[in-house]
Chains A and B, each alone.
Chain A
Amino acid sequence: MTNTVWTPELLSPAGSLEKLKVAVLYGADAVYLGGQKFGLRQASDNFTAQELREGVEFAHSRGSMVYVVLNSFLHDKDLEELPEFLSLLSELKVDAVIVSDLGVITEIQKHSNLVVHLSTQASCLNVESAKLWKKMGVTRIVLGREVTIKEAKKIKEETGLEIEMFVHGSMCMAFSGNCVISNYTQGRDSNRGGCAHSCRFEYSIDYKNNEEAKKAYFMSSKDLEGIRMLTEFIEAGIDSLKVEGRNKSHYYAATVSKVYSEALAYYKAHGNFLSDDLIRWEEELRKISHRDYTTGSLDTHADESSIYNQRESDDNEYVVTGVILEVKDQEHILLEVRSAFTAGDTLEIMPFSGVTINHTIDSVKSIANINVPKSKPGSVVKVPYIAGAERFNIIRRKINNVSAAV
C-alpha cells in the first residue's frame, strides 16, 4: 500500500493558546478557536489578539489550519464590533471562520474575503438546506449531529460542498441552536455562549396519568465516540472530522488529537483499520473524563441508548499530573502540576506519537531546588529527566482511589 490513501482532516478544539499548541503537536490537522467575543464558549480562555497571532503562526508553521468560531447568534450591537475583528482575522490569514447566523455571514462577506464554514449551530440537516447555505456563500457545512454518515454522504454528493462532522465529544440533546433553557431560566443567552447545562440535571417527571413522578437524568446525552466509524467517514468522503471540547482540558485536547490522528495515519498507510492499536486507541479515549460513549446518530438516528441517565461524575481511572513546561536535557523536567503526586509515584508521559512512557520518579523539587513532599496543583516542580519527554507533553498518573486526587 502506498501513502496516497485519502483521509479526512482532523479538527481539534483549541480553548486557549496552550491547548492549540498541544492539539497541533499531538496531531491535529486543524484547530478551531474563539476570540474574546462572538463565539459560544464564553467560559473558555478565549484568545486575545496577540494570542491569536501567535496561535496562527504556530499552527501554520506546522502545517495545521486555523478556523475561528463566530458562531453566536449575534444581536445588532454585537455586530457593530465585528468589522475590526474581521480585519484582524484577515491580516492573520486564518483559514476560515465558522458562522451560524446569516447576519454574521453577511457582515463577513461585506467586510472581508474570509472563507465561511457554516456552524453546526445552524442545524443544517438535509440536502436542500445545504443547497440554500451554498447560495449564501458558505463553502463548508458542519452538519448537525443528528445527521447519519450516509445522509452526510448524500449531502456532499448533491451539493459539492465540503462536509464536516463531529467525531467525538459532548453533545446537546437538542437540535443545535434550538435550546434556550438558559436564556429563560438563568438570564444567559445559550446561543451567545451562556449555556448553563440544565440538560445535565436530574428531573422528576410528572406524567399526566396520575402515576408517581419518575426521577431521571432524562435529557442528558451520552458523549459521541466515532473511532469505530472512521471507515464509514472515509468511505463517505467526509472532509473534516471535528472533536468537540474547547472548554475541556489540555489532557483531553492531547488525547483525542493523538488517538484520532494516529488512527487516521494508520489508515493512510494501510488503507484499513485492522490494527491491534484500535483497542489501545479506545482505551486511551476511556482514560479521559467522559460520559458513557455512544455513536449518536452516525450510524442510525440516536435512540434512547444515547441518553446518559446518571449523575455527572469526574471519577476517572487516570488523573492528569501536569504539563511539561521545560525539558533540560539530562538534568530535569519542569512540570506545571495539575494534580498532586509524590516521589515514588509512577508517571505516564504521553509522547506526541506512540505508546506512553512509564517512569517512577524518585524526587520532586521546587523551583528553588527544595525537596517537596507532595506537589501542589498550580505549582511548578522539577522531576528528574526522563528520556523522550518533550515540552507540552501531558503527564498522567493511574489512581486507585479517585477521590485521593486533588
Chain B
Amino acid sequence: MKFITYAENLTQLKELSILVETNRIDRSELEVIIGNAFLSRYSENTIAGFEEMIVFNQKAKLQLVLEWDVLQQETLFQKNVELVSKLPLHEFKAVRVQDPGALNFIKEKFPWLKVQLIMENGNHNYAGLSRWSDFLGEQLDRLVLSNELSREHLGKYASDLKNDLEVLVFGRILLFYSPRLLLSPVNKESIQAEFEKNIEAYGTSEESPHAGFPLIENRHGTFMFNVKDLYLLDHLEELKSLKIAAVRFDLRFDDSFGHLENCIDLFKGRIAHSEIAEIKAEHPRPMIKGFYNINKTDVLFTKLKNKRIQRQDDNYIGEIVDVERDQQMALLIKSSHLNLKSGDEVQLITPEGKTKTLGLKSLTDTTGKLKESAAMNEVVLLPFISGVVAKTQVYLIQK
C-alpha cells in the first residue's frame, strides 16, 4: 500500500524528502502530490514556487504527482492546456485529473503520462469504474475513489477491478465546488478577490443543525467542506487487507502537516493507533468515518412518496377529484384504454389505504345528464361513499 500526501511548498517537500532519506518511509511507498494556483483547487503555489519544487525534486527523486483537479469551462480550459503543455511533465510519475476534458487531453496528447483519475464525485458502481479503467487501459495509474463508498464496496472493487485504487483516510470532506466567487462579495469592504491567497471563512446557518462549515474562495470559485473531517486512521490495516493500493493523507489544512511523521509511523506500523489519539482529540473539528461502515443515503426516498396515491395497474380507471359530503363524488377518468360503463363495479383505494367497492347502477355527467359510458378526460359523478376523499384511486373490477 502506498502513502499519498501533498506538499504545498518547497519546505514541505524538503521535509518529506528528509523522511525518505532517513528511511522513515521507502521512496517507492511515498507519492507526493504537488500543484499550483492555476491547476489545483486549493493551492496557493505560484508557478515559480512550483518550478522550484520540481527542480529540488530532480535530486530528491521523490515520486511527484501533478495535480490538475480544477473543472474548466472552455475558455479557462484552453489557458490551462497552454500551461500544462509547457510543464516538464516527464518529471511527474502521473497527473491527477477530474475534468473529463483534462483526461481526454492527456490521453490524446501525452499517452505516455500515467493518469490518476479522480472519481470522488459519484462513480459509485462497478460498471462505471471498470469502463473508465478500460478506457484508459495501460495509461491508468489508479482510480481515486469517492469517500461515500462503504468498506464493502471498496473491498469488492479492489478485488474485481484490474487497476489500483486509492481512498482518502484523513482530511476535509468537500461538500461543494462552485465556480462562483461567493465569499468576497459579502465582505467587500475588507476583502478584494485578488487571488494571491485563499480567502477562508466558516459558515453557520440557523436552518441547519451543523455549525462552522469551512469555506475557501480563490480564483477557481468557492469550496465548502463538511463540519466534520474524515478519519480512517484506525482502518489502515483493514484497507490494506482489502487490497486498496493507496491511502491519502490530506494534511493541507488546520496545520495538520504537523501530523505527518505520526501518520507515516502509523502507516509503517511503528506505532499503534492508540498512541496517536491526540490527533483526533486536538483536531479543531470532530472527525468521522463518513460512509465507511455503511451508506444509507437513499433510505429516506421511499418515505417521500405515498404509494397509495399512485396509480398501480392495468385496471386503473381514474381518480376521485372531489367529494361533496352526503351527495356526490367526482371521478376523473384517466385511463386511456378503459371506459367506465353503467353497471360496472369499481374498487376505491383511499390515500390512507382503505378499500371500498361500489356498483355503478348509473353514470351521470357534470350537467346531471345520464351517460352510458365515460372515457378518458371525462368527469362523472358517483354516489357518495363515506370515507372516500379526493385523491382516492379507482380501479375497475373486471368480471
Contact = CB atoms under 8 A, between A and B. Distances in A.
Same complex origin of A and B:
yes
Contact of B201 (A148, A189, A208): A208
Contacts of B256: none
B100 A177 contact: no
A123 B212 CA distance: 28
A192 B297 contact: yes
A100 B205 CA distance: 31
A399 interface: no
B125 A328 contact: no
B37 interface: no
Contacts of A87: none
Nearest to A42: B301
A203 B210 CA distance: 11
Nearest to B225: A184
Given A174-B176, A175-B177, A325 B99 contact: no
A54 B128 CA distance: 32
A193 B127 contact: no
Contact of B208 (A78, A185, A332): A185
B205 A198 contact: yes
A187 B71 contact: no
Contacts of B334: 17, 54
B242 to A, nearest CB: 16
Contacts of A332: 366-367
Contacts of A123: 71
B364 to A, nearest CB: 10
Contacts of B241: none
B161 interface: no
A276 interface: no
A104 B328 contact: no
Given A127-B101, A148-B73, A205-B187, A75 B295 contact: yes
Contacts of B378: 326
Interface in B130-154: 131-132, 135, 148, 153
Contact of A326 (B205, B207, B379, B390): B379
A84 interface: no
A208 B200 contact: yes
A73 B122 contact: yes
Contacts of B206: 201-202
Interface in B354-398: 365-368, 377-379, 381, 390
A198 B368 CA distance: 51
A154 interface: yes
Contact of A174 (B178, B299, B379): B178
A51 interface: yes
Contacts of B346: none
Contacts of B228: 184
A203 B187 CA distance: 13
Interface stretch (B45-53, B57-65, B88-96, B311-319): B311-319
B226 A101 contact: no
Given A125-B99, A181-B175, A194-B298, A106 B128 contact: yes
A206 B302 CA distance: 37
A74 B149 CA distance: 12
Nearest to B212: A206
Contact of A106 (B124, B131, B204, B390): B131
Interface stretch (B4-12, B102-110, B243-251, B276-284): B102-110
Contacts of B379: 325-326, 334, 380
A177 B300 contact: no
A112 B328 CA distance: 48
Contact of B210 (A133, A185, A189): A185
Contacts of B304: 42-43
A367 B324 contact: yes
Given A133-B100, A304-B185, A307-B182, A207 B322 contact: no
Given A103-B123, A206-B204, A325-B332, A367 B186 contact: no
A209 interface: yes
Contacts of B367: 328, 331-332
Interface of B: 71-75, 77, 99-105, 108, 121-129, 131-132, 135, 148, 153, 173-187, 190-191, 199-210, 212-213, 215, 222, 224, 226, 228, 290, 295-301, 304-305, 310-314, 316, 321-322, 324, 327-328, 330, 332, 334, 336, 365-368, 377-379, 381, 390
8 contacts: A75-B295, A78-B125, A104-B125, A107-B127, A125-B73, A136-B135, A175-B71, A208-B202
Closest 3 CB pairs of A and B: A103-B128, A73-B122, A129-B101
